[in-house]
Amino acid sequence: MFNKKNTIPIFFAVDDAYIPFLAVAIYSLVKHANKENEYIIKILYTDIKEENQKAIKKYENKNISIEFVDLNYYIDKVKDKLYTRDYYTKTTYFRLFIPDLYPQYDKVLYLDSDITILTDIAELYNIDIENNLVAAAPDDVIQNIEVFQEYAEKVVGVADYKKYFNAGILLMNLDEMRKSNFQEKFLYLLETIKFSVAQDQDYLNRLCKGRVKLFSNTWNRMPIGKDIIEREKLHLIHYNLAFKPWHFEDILYKEYFWEIAQKTEFFDKIQKIKENYSDEEKFKDMEADKKLRQLAQKECDCVGDDRVSRREKIEKAKDRLDILAKIEEFERNGLFDKDTEEDPPTIPLLPEGVDYLNEKVSSKLKTRLANKVGEKFLENIIKNQKLLIKEIKGIEKLNSINSGAIITCNHFNPFDAFAIEHVFRTSKHIENKRLYKVIREGNYTNFPGLYGFFFRNCDTLPLSSNNKTMVEFMKAADTILKRGDMILIYPEQSLWWNYKKPKPLKPGAFRIAARNNVPIVPIFITMEDSNIMGDDGFIIQQYTINIENPIYPDKDFNEKENTQIMKTKNYEIWKEVYEHFYKVPLLYSTEKGKMPKY
């Protein structure tokens, strides 16, 4: 459980020298705060004068409290291990101790002090962090400077520099961090690895890898790169590194800082800091930036380019590139039901070649063994991060089914059947129902190895090019549904690797549901990049499994009418999930962007 929506714990960590800029940050926070929220501000420090504390506490009001928290007692035991350089101080590490310091909070915001807030910070706090450890924005500096991109991937170890986040604006899931023994892992890393470029931020990226929710850099916009964001979309400016308007004149977004600064009692002091900032100090800043790039390059050189193997994998994955190109071609030509990958040669499946309902003793034994092996296989691919399920939404909708049912799902990866199997095992139905999977003929008759064993024995219903076998298939499907079990059918028919859009649907699944008067349970799996590189040289996708409301046949319509109605509803539901998740309208590259009629 997270804290109440209207209670927002916010942490800063500063020393005495940064008090004027903290005042600007807090004034901007207070200016945009919603009076219906309660903002609890805690300022972690080891050395701040009493007079400066009093000056900051003047910003308190009915719904904003400010507390200074002395961490000298806490930091003593590890301070010798906390590496710092240049203008960094040990306070930069304080955010890493918040989970254990504040067990009463499940979620908090951490904010650097060199910021100006342009909208209510509650909007950032209310982002759904799900079960991730942190939510943060990609680091603008990393995105713009090549040597830092190399450093993030080679030294810190993120799979893609685009996933490396800036830790100055951080939504922290303290509950999950405590469950994962975050602080214990951090202290262990301090003993074994020294990150010298971005220090605590590097540790955070390493420790949170694979469990980061990225939000827009409009909530952590740095004055670097091109000014391409519309001003009304900016939420927070972060004057990171040497991009300080109180040091330099030509800093992007400086007007936001000075507008707030002149309203604080520190305005004169900040102006004097700028006036007295010498050319020598400015030169040192530029030299520090140069040295930091050199340090990052040195770290990269010491590690060596272990991305050679990554390039080799990309070469090995030429077949994947060919498939992606074929998907583009097929979409453009409206060939949605055509496969983009070669299947095993199809050996016709005759009636005597399949025992759909496991009526033979040998079939029962093989199925029992296959399901046990399959369960262990499913556990392993999840444990080894070959299958990444980020979230299951709507399990209660699956649990609400009291009869047999057809489960429909988009088809984009051979492992998506394992994802649905995982969902079924998560549901209440695992206790008294079975899940059958409709598969292709060639996968049943001619697929080699372990997967072939699964295809033939793990409660599968193979299709067939033989009419007599299909009669047996339909009888088996009717029996399975009447006894209250469930059948997974991919109504798109074709598998297009990592294809995110819903494809046109075939009527078969809906005809079976209509004939047996059972519901369709529409499931649409959405995807996003993880931080893990796959063996094929592509980023492994993490799945959100969206279980939607069941679609029931209407007793006022006949089988043919219900088939069409249910098929249309299923597609519309998938379309809505797609557009809501990806925040784009569903358009195809076919002529006029329309889906062909089927």
Average pLDDT over residues 579-598: 76
The mean pLDDT of 310-330, rounded to a whole number, is 73
Residue 165 tokens, joined: 């986040």
With CA atoms as reference, report the closest residue to 416 among 492, 353, 323, 365.
Answer: 492
Strand partners of residue 533: 539
Query: pLDDT tens, 403-417?
Result: 999 999 999 988 889
Joined together, the tokens standing for residue 76 give 């003593």
Beta strands in 23-130 (DSSP E): 38-45, 64-70, 107-111, 115-117
The reported pLDDT for the residue numbered 306 is: 55
Q: Tell me how far apart the alpha carbons of residues 553 and 437 are, in angstroms, rounded to a whole number.
A: 21
Say if residue 64's pLDDT is above 50: yes
Query: Percentage of the chain surpassing pLDDT 70?
Result: 91
Higher pLDDT: 78 or 247? It is 247
**Which of 67, 117, 74 lies closest to 96 in space, CA to CA?**
74
Give the residue, 134 or 75, on which the prediction is more confident.
134
Least confident of 26-30, 128-132, 566-570: 128-132
CA distance 384 to 244: 44
**pLDDT: is 20 or 345 the higher one?**
20
CB 586 within 8 A of CB 577: no
pLDDT on residue 259: 96
Span 85-102, mean pLDDT? 67
Closest CA to 121 of 206, 215, 246: 215
The CA distance from 357 to 460, in Å, is: 10
Rounded to an integer, the average pLDDT of 332-350 is 82
Res 89: pLDDT = 46
pLDDT of residue 97 exceeding 90, the answer is no
| pLDDT for residue 315 is more than 60 | no
The per-residue pLDDT for range 176-219, each reduced to its tens digit, is 999 988 888 887 777 777 676 766 788 888 888 889 999 999 99
List beta partners, residue 462: 439
Mean pLDDT over 524-531 rounds to 90
In the prediction, which pLDDT does 253 show?
A: 94
pLDDT at 88: 40
- 289 has pLDDT over 60: yes
- pLDDT score at 533: 76
Give the model's pLDDT for residue 86: 40
Output the pLDDT for position 238.
Answer: 96
Confidence of residue 90 (pLDDT cuts 50, 70, 90): low
Q: Cβ contacts of residue 296 below 8 Å, gap of 6+?
A: 147, 148, 150, 151, 155, 197
User: What are the tens digits of pLDDT across the range 544-563?
Assistant: 999 999 999 999 999 999 99
Confidence of residue 1 (pLDDT cuts 50, 70, 90): very low
Residue 87 has pLDDT above 70, yes or no: no
Phi, psi of 423 (to 5 degrees): -60, -45
Tell me what pLDDT residue 178 has.
92
Domains in the chain, ordered, with CATH?
A: 7-303 (3.90.550.10), 320-349+386-593 (3.40.1130)
Number of C-beta neighbours around residue 489 at 10 A = 24
User: What is the pLDDT of the chain when averaged over all its residues?
Assistant: 87
Alpha-carbon distance of 290 to 389, in angstroms, equals 41
Average pLDDT for residues 466-481, to the nearest whole number? Answer: 95
At 311 the pLDDT is 47
Q: What is the mean pLDDT of residues 479-484?
A: 96
268 band by pLDDT with thresholds 50, 70 and 90: very high
Higher pLDDT, 221 or 317: 221
